[in-house]
Structure 1
């Protein structure tokens, strides 16, 4: 008896999930059923794929080889199913999307319900990561990236751009005053990023150019963390309009030094590996999110 595709899927799910219980939840089976499937698969292959103890699981050398081949087989099967769907012009299947937390929270999540109504056969899987991921390693269909692209091996589609604004809460400005000049920022609490140095170059015209390098009083790795700090009155921040437009509309954040803003806009791209016929479910999502971004990118 040969291995079946559902057994391959269970094996891959266990490895990617990190445990039998997590894989069981992912595929909708009981842990005991997952364990039986693994044992049955190993019996068919007459080899041990995973060394299992009560605390950890380790792939054997045979398991590592089989994992790579199993992923290839499942990917080929998924591609075949997608081609059949394309023939019927019905977007369907699992769509794995990765984006930084701020973009996911403010530019994707608010529109999920509408997207699902339009495309009920697409199964969304949303993953957030503030660092750049490897799409193949993370089994990701499409990733949204903010800023200048550096990876030339990826295919990219522009989704537009978003202005950067200098912002502070009314409470902070009431307590510390509103800076009237760019130079006055030196006496204020500035909130910046810990990792990407370019994100601490604010789009402000001053005597030496149109980008001001700031020295943060407080730093964070996530733009969402900086947004929350700014809302709490902890300082002045520079953030993209796509994640703060609602705060500005509600008066929870106020634009500071608008006349000095140089007008730089952060490019937004969707990146993916497939360079042949783009899967219909991916195409539908990109068209949808691009229209949403256009609604508040100014």
Structure 2
């Protein structure tokens, strides 16, 4: 075997971080040391893996093929280590990605309990409002709400969350309560900049079950929209997973319940099919599913 595992890991880290200096910081080495490792690897393989420019590094076609093979080798080694140590308690780093509202309302509240059960697992949380490449960003488990389009992903159902049209009592006191769906045209509506389908609210309208809104205010994050609704800015449509406490306390009120359609969004934990689920990821998914069973 020409290459070493350290060389493979260095190459993968350069690609994932986007630069030699970032890879050096990630691996706690010097940039010159990282450059020497890359040059040694390319010399062994007799190919150029990365094109170097003043602004960025680009994979060559040989580099793209070697990158996937390198990931497979590292993953196979991790799987072997997991299999040998499967009788031991889960340990190591677990990287989790989801939209910020789900992290805030449905993951963070339970991490203390998770730590008590699995104290040797380190957790890193990432908040992405859009879908990201799990491998490129080295994410072990991502949590997605809504339809899944990528067939290369394994998915484990965590439950489902209903969407409701809500406002604060302060807003309703100032602007009045809509009597029917058409009344919404005279109110301040808050929507999403992306994805656009969330600006079709689950309300019976003109023989359909979707009401297209024209938002006065828009935001990319559901958490931002939640704060706007709490502050009496306007009316919005949000998932139960992030609004149950506000509705139970009366801080938010459901609007037009008689016209509401029981639309529920699926919630999944996802990971790539070509990667065996690690022990720590497996216990986290099972743990979170048990917690959300009574919280959604």
Give the TM-score normalised by the residue count of structure 1.
0.83
Partners of 1:61 and 1:269 in 2: CA distance:
34
More moved, 224-233 vs 40-49: 40-49
Distance 1:14 1:275 in 2: 22
Corresponding residue number in structure 2 for 1:83: 83
Deviates more, 1:154-163 or 1:62-71: 62-71
- 1:28 aligned residue: 28
Superposition pairs of residues 145-156 of structure 1, within 5 angstroms: 145-156=144-155
Q: 1:209 and 1:64, CA in 2 relative to 1: closer, same or farther beyond 3 A?
A: closer
Distance 2:246 2:22 in 1: 37
1:191 counterpart residue number: 190
Cα RMSD after superposing both structures: 3.0
Structure 1 position 94 matched with structure 2 position 93: yes
- C-alpha change, 1:158 and 1:9, in structure 2 (3 Å) is same
- Contact 2:16–2:136 (8 Å) recurs in 1: no
Q: Map Cα deviations across residues 179-231 of structure 1 (whole Å, 9 max, x no partner).
A: 23333212101112234343223223456244333232233333223223323
Q: CA deviation at 1:140?
A: 3.3
- The 3 A distance-change label for structure 1 pair 277 and 20 is closer
The 3-state SS of whatever aligns with 2:232 is coil
Runs of 4+ in 1 over 6 A off after TM superposition: none
Residue aligning to 2:19: 19
Q: Retained in 1: the 8 A contact 2:190–2:217?
A: yes
Unaligned runs of 5+ in 2: none
Deviation of residue 80 (structure 1)? 1.3
CA apart distance, 1:122? 2.6
TM-score w.r.t. length of structure 2: 0.84
Structure 1, unmatched stretches of 5+, are: none
Deviations 1:237-294 (A, max 9, x none): 0000112223334554333233443332222122233389743222211111112222
**Cα distance, 1:54 vs. partner?**
5.8
- 1:1-298 alignment to 2 at 5 Å? 2-42=2-42, 44-45=44-45, 49-52=49-52, 55-60=55-60, 62-86=62-86, 88-205=87-204, 208-274=207-273, 278-297=277-296
For residue 85 of structure 2, give the secondary structure of its aligned residue in structure 1. helix
